[in-house]
Copies of this chain bind each other. A is one copy, B any other.
Amino acid sequence: MRPLRIAIFGFGTVGSSVARILTESKPQGLELTHVFNRDVTRKRVDWTPANIIWSEDADAVLASDVDVIVELAGGIDPAGSWVRRALEAGKSVVTANKKLIAFHGIDLERLAARKGGHLKYGAAVAGGIPVIPGLEQGLVGDHIERIEGILNGTCNFILSRMQEGAEYAPVLAAAQAKGYAEADPTEDVCGFDARAKLAILMRLAMRVQIDPEEITPRPITTVTAVDFSYARDLGCTIRQVARAEQAEGRLAATVGPMLVALRSPLAWSQGTENMVIASGRYGGDVVFSGHGAGGHPTAVAVVSDLLALAHGSRRVEIPYAPAKIAGEFEVPHYIRFLVSDRPGIVAAITGALAGEQINIRAILQKPGYPADALPFVVTVEPCKSSALQRALASVRAMDCMLVEPLDLQMLE
């Protein structure tokens, strides 16, 4: 068997780790032949086999006799056009590009099938944790009704540090210093990255094809140290969670910071770890956890996909149905207010909630905060976010409200 000839597009942390594993482990059937990067001379290393072609000419590499393009540049452009051209030429593609797969994965898979190539993206969700093969192979016989995931290592690093008492801004700065967060952290902290990954998991687990933009993610930037303090009093911590549920034919999906019980698996994940819980009608909950990001773990998923291609392992093709996000979760909520204290605030809030038939579970006000910047918390019994937002509309307009009330779903 002739080995698969492999070109890496994008020689950053992950690309370099892929080259490292291919060079050190020499997996049977794989041969690294090309590395493409802009300004490639500054990327060149001396520990790869000498006969590799280092190129800054994407066209030339795409036109060469390579069998597989490993796309690690990320983003929609120009990565998407490289992927498309490789598939058009009948080559296969292995990618870690969640955005491209979330928004264009179905088209690209059809293109691959038409041209005789294959598209694999095991590294696109939860890097080194085999969630995608687990769903595609091991759980395909179940009917997955719910997915809950910690899918963004940057947010998990920030929130698990805040759990220990830190505030958002210095932790973000530390994450940036360690290379865990980008200079512009928007994609991560505002939930766009996790949303793309959730859309991919929904496709594989629930067999629905959604437009990711139907999910409005909520940022973690509004969570403060005081929220972790109140969360602890409630036996909880705070994590960025991506969730989807399929119940009675209605699909619900949401991404954002949420309260999770300290004894729940979601609270186990520390630092940049990722976790996915898939709940099946027949098999119950399955938990996958590990290092979701980073060069080496992500590279393991890439090399595993390459080996699957080399050994003729094909995925189980289950048809997807297009679907709309039409449902809403009915869960308890945590609402934290920051007010300049005056009489009547609690009465106004409780009245507004009662007007939407929302039952209050608890009102918490810890001592030790100044009256002109007083945080307090209301938790409510399971209700729809839309009802809660209607109830909060009048409250949020009160001039004593110093910031927008922070509304977090509580996972039980």
Contact = CB atoms under 8 A, between A and B. Distances in A.
Interface of A: 17, 21, 25, 27-28, 122, 128-143, 265, 268, 280, 282-291, 296-297, 299-308, 311-319
A288 B286 contact: yes
Nearest to A263: B268
Given A134-B133, A138-B133, A290 B282 contact: no
Given A289-B286, A315-B313, A139 B143 contact: no
Contact of A133 (B133, B280, B307): B133
A366 to B, nearest CB: 27
Contact of A304 (B25, B27, B138): B138
Contacts of A133: 130, 133-134, 136-138
A284 B128 contact: yes
Contact of A268 (B268, B285, B302, B315): B268
B128 A304 contact: no
A335 B41 CA distance: 60
A296 B279 CA distance: 13
28 contacts: A25-B143, A128-B284, A128-B286, A130-B130, A130-B138, A130-B286, A131-B138, A132-B138, A133-B134, A133-B138, A140-B303, A141-B303, A141-B304, A142-B303, A142-B304, A265-B289, A282-B300, A283-B290, A283-B291, A284-B290, A284-B297, A286-B289, A287-B287, A289-B289, A307-B316, A308-B316, A311-B315, A313-B314
A32 B302 CA distance: 37
Contacts of A312: 314
B311 A297 contact: no
A286 B126 CA distance: 11
A288 B285 contact: no
A299 B318 CA distance: 19
Contact of A291 (B128, B285, B308, B314): B285
A129 B286 contact: yes
B141 A21 contact: yes
Contacts of A299: 141, 282
B301 A290 contact: no
A153 to B, nearest CB: 12
A251 to B, nearest CB: 18
